[in-house]
Chains A and B, each alone.
Chain A
Amino acid sequence: MATLDSKIPEGPIAEKWTNYKAHQKLVNPANKRKLDVIIVGTGLAGASAAASLGEMGFRVKSFCIQDSPRRAHSIAAQGGINAAKNYQNDGDSVYRLFYDTVKGGDYRSREANVYRLAEVSANIIDQCVAQGVPFAREYGGLLANRSFGGVQVSRTFYAKGQTGQQLLLGAYSAMMRQVHAGTVELHTRTEMQDVVIIDGRARGIIVRNLITGALERYSAHAVVLATGGYGNTYFLSTNAMGCNCSAAIAAYRKGAYFANPAYVQIHPTCIPVHGNNQSKLTLMSESLRNDGRIWVPKKLEDAKKLQRGEIKGRDIPEEDRDYYLERRYPAFGNLVPRDVASRAAKERCDAGYGVNNTGLAVFLDFSEAINRLGRDVVEQRYGNLFDMYEEITDENPYENPMMIYPAIHYTMGGLWVDYELQTTIKGLFAIGECNFSDHGANRLGASALMQGLADGYFVLPYTIQNYLSDQIGVSRESIATDKPEFDAAEKEVKAKIDHILGIGGKRSVDSIHKELGHVMWEYVGMARSKEGLLKALEDIKRLRKEFETNVFVPHVEGVNVELDKALRLNDFITMGGLIAIDALNREESCGGHFRVEHQTEEGEAKRDDKNCFYVSCWEYQGEDKDPVKYIEPLKYEAIEVKTRNYKV
């Protein structure tokens, strides 16, 4: 097996990034104007990168599928953003944030990247406050903090339950300032279909205008993908309806390696599935676990009564409640990391203790917090989340415990990138959730926002210069959109669209997507086995065929939402296969990847550091062939690799 070079700078971990910045190559201001950068996606990573590169003087072309960059799904992040500020004087430090993130990721992330992330985390908060992001404050006027899962300090900054919204609007404002200044050119309702490669370097993209349906070409000296994760492969997830993995898969098909696709995060606190028509799952912020206690009944007969709707949660006396997280993990209790909390919920429900009519739900109870703090305080902290819960479920969570169940939320895997955030295709960068490097096998709460903004504001603007400094001799004409490589890429996209329009089958895109989601959740979800994964791969092949022969997409000029969805599903099917192959190949349990064959007697994940201490990277070989695996061996210098323990 070939291995990959991650280009980690020399030196002690705390000095790597400083050394890198001191020695990297720069582009002078006059040359920046001559260099174009395409950024696809306008979430936290994409918007912050566009704003930063624009104000540095590069010419940025920004693309998003929504009607405005402000609607990217980063907006929905609720809980907060981590930063090693130690404002609470509770012993936090850059090292501790680094350590918690590596441990939380079950020792499968790249040490140097995570250290850099922890290092720049504090700058993010400074930057956002300067932009006018209204973080929560204490009465003395200082910034407030709260706790998230997997840590023992309070380092999470927040803006009510809408932190993602406020951070995104901050980045969006900064980006719109550059639109006004003329350095950022905005393309909304536009979806990337392919990346164009000239002489081995990414030089442009083919996009589909979602209003006119026309294919368009754009060229640049470098292309940055900030297109998010692939959670919607599972159909039901906390992602927005439009979230998709098509840009990443297009890059993968063109030769970019895909890393750790099996690492999918299942969030423990979502509103349970209620019926077949459901289109998405709604997250209840992890911050609720600061004050909410998770439980199921101790007695099976109580669970049965709950399932039949004969009693409610509040009817069960204290002594008959099993606070199973506090019981199993006394040191972290309800604030264990997401993967641990999700599996524990599944374990109880599989044993028959589920608390709703489907048997797939546990309680998140605030009665103790309401008694301790008063209803007013609970309302102030979580009021908007409680309202949202009531609107969806028609149940008042102040009076009766909330019901929650795990759901697909985030994907740690993504395009493989080196320390400079460059993929295996020269000139093609991936930032934010779209890449793989920082969260290992499990992401801690409030770290996605941190990573998105770190990449966009503080990492890419440096590393991309190191690449672009060599490109100042490349004229705009030499990579213009009339080059044959653009013709070929556009022709291929057009052929794919014509093919899909021509299938003329009987099934809607959604009906096939739902079936794919069901297969993924059942066999490639929270508990995976060799047998199940092999079945999933068979099913995915069958669904590929079903899509190719029986999907129906109407012929419509202009806006054609069914075609939008069909093109995305085409890529979700490829992605589903890739997740299953990686899950089958990784013979261990770590973080979000749990193989039933690899567990301890107590049902905890059992890693295999001897054989699996690496990043798996997959190279595309064609739709009918299995991808080829490469590895990036992990090398830890600053942290001792040990079994994750949240019990003591």
Chain B
Amino acid sequence: MAKNISFTLKYWKQNGPKDKGHFDTREMKDIPDDTSFLEMLDILNEQLIEEGKEPFVFDHDCREGICGMCSLYINGTPHGKTERGATTCQLYMRRFHDGETITVEPWRSAAFPVIKDCMVDRSAFDKIQAAGGYISVRTGAPQDANAILIPKEAADEAMDCATCIGCGACVAACKNGSAMLFVSSKVSQFALLPQGKVEAKKRVKAMVAKMDELGFGNCTNTRACEAVCPKNETIANIARLNREFIKAKLSD
């Protein structure tokens, strides 16, 4: 059975990328603990609107943990703390206690400028993807899908890498603002599949070059990214990316 909790909510307000920004604070009373975190923010916004104020802006869409749109830094952790990987939208108020202070901030990274409040610009990820995150195949009549056998282990591993939702929590958590977990997941998915091997060298160089150009930092193996990844991507992908990258560079 649900019980109600009350707490202090501190949430980040920032009017555009150049604004300094500040926290607003509100006492949230009697919130049922079976409410999701984003539904709690819906309640906040209903209250603000009732008072004739501007609502608090944050990204969200599917609310079932798969679109990668939601992106809140909650009490110092991207997506908040859960035992298993979960996105902000899958976080429920039963994870919080009566009387605590909950702090909500945007992803903070030079490559993700704030648009408004906690809404940030992650279009850099699309640019990295466009640089080489694909297999160059035309729409048309490729050979039968079963013509190339793929060992189950390889398919499963590729699937684990492909599970990345592109939310950017890895970048937000990294002290260097590195996008290596995101990039390596995509590189790994294709490197593990026979269809992706042909372009592997070109792909890894193009994606890494674009990542560097867009101002993401380097990886220093702090593993902060994998600790917060809602889809449990691991730094084994980063190791694979490094191998792929060295292989590609050596064959130049």
Residues of A at the B interface (CB closer than 8 Å) are: 48, 51-52, 55, 66-73, 75-76, 85, 87, 123, 125-143, 159-160, 162, 164-166, 169, 172-174, 176-177, 179-180, 186, 188, 211, 238, 240-242, 274-275, 277-280, 282-283, 309, 387-388, 391-392, 394, 457-458, 461, 508, 510-511, 552, 554, 556, 558-559, 561-562
Selecting from B59-67, B218-226, B238-246, the interface stretch reads B59-67
Nearest B-chain residue to A140, judged by Cβ = B149
| Contact present for B145 and A240 (CB under 8 Å) | no
State the interface size on chain B (CB cutoff 8 A). Answer: 83
- The interface residues of chain B lying within 8 Å CB-to-CB of A85 are 145
Q: DSSP class of B's interface residues: helix, strand, loop or mixed?
A: loop
Nearest B-chain residue to A78, judged by Cβ = B66
**Sample (18) of A-B pairs whose CB atoms are under 8 Å apart:** A67-B121, A71-B61, A72-B67, A76-B64, A87-B146, A134-B162, A134-B189, A162-B163, A173-B135, A174-B134, A176-B134, A238-B64, A240-B62, A241-B61, A282-B64, A394-B34, A552-B52, A554-B55
Q: What separation, in Å, do the CA atoms of A240 and B60 have in the docked complex?
A: 9
- The interface residues of chain B lying within 8 Å CB-to-CB of A165 are 66, 163, 165
| Contact present for A143 and B145 (CB under 8 Å) | yes
| Contact present for B39 and A277 (CB under 8 Å) | yes
Among A131, A141, A280, A457, point to the contact of B149 (Cβ < 8 A).
Answer: A141
Nearest B-chain residue to A394, judged by Cβ = B94
| Contact present for A388 and B64 (CB under 8 Å) | yes
Nearest A-chain residue to B68, judged by Cβ = A71
| Contact present for A240 and B61 (CB under 8 Å) | yes
- The interface residues of chain B lying within 8 Å CB-to-CB of A141 are 149-152
CB distance from A132 to the nearest CB of B (A): 5
| Contact present for B190 and A125 (CB under 8 Å) | no
* Per-position binary interface string of chain B over residues 66-98, scored 1 when its CB falls under 8 Å from any chain A CB and 0 otherwise: 111100000000000010101000101010000
| Contact present for A131 and B64 (CB under 8 Å) | no
| Contact present for B49 and A180 (CB under 8 Å) | no
Nearest A-chain residue to B43, judged by Cβ = A277
CB distance from A269 to the nearest CB of B (A): 14
Q: What separation, in Å, do the CA atoms of A177 and B36 have in the docked complex?
A: 37
B251 touches A (CB below 8 Å): no
CB distance from A64 to the nearest CB of B (A): 11
| Contact present for A280 and B42 (CB under 8 Å) | no
| Contact present for A137 and B54 (CB under 8 Å) | no
| Contact present for A391 and B68 (CB under 8 Å) | no
| Contact present for A510 and B42 (CB under 8 Å) | yes
Nearest B-chain residue to A52, judged by Cβ = B139
- The interface residues of chain A lying within 8 Å CB-to-CB of B193 are 132, 134
B138 touches A (CB below 8 Å): yes
CB distance from B126 to the nearest CB of A (A): 5
Among B49, B64, B129, B142, point to the contact of A552 (Cβ < 8 A).
Answer: B49
Among B50, B135, B141, B158, point to the contact of A126 (Cβ < 8 A).
Answer: B141
| Contact present for A241 and B130 (CB under 8 Å) | no
**Given A173-B134, A277-B32 in contact, is the A392-B68 Cβ separation under 8 Å?**
no
| Contact present for B115 and A166 (CB under 8 Å) | no
- The interface residues of chain B lying within 8 Å CB-to-CB of A159 are 159, 162
| Contact present for B129 and A173 (CB under 8 Å) | yes
CB distance from B157 to the nearest CB of A (A): 9
Given contacts A126-B142, A142-B149, A283-B64, 15 further A-B pairs with CB under 8 A are A70-B68, A127-B139, A127-B142, A131-B137, A134-B155, A134-B156, A135-B155, A137-B155, A179-B130, A238-B64, A277-B32, A309-B1, A391-B90, A392-B90, A392-B92
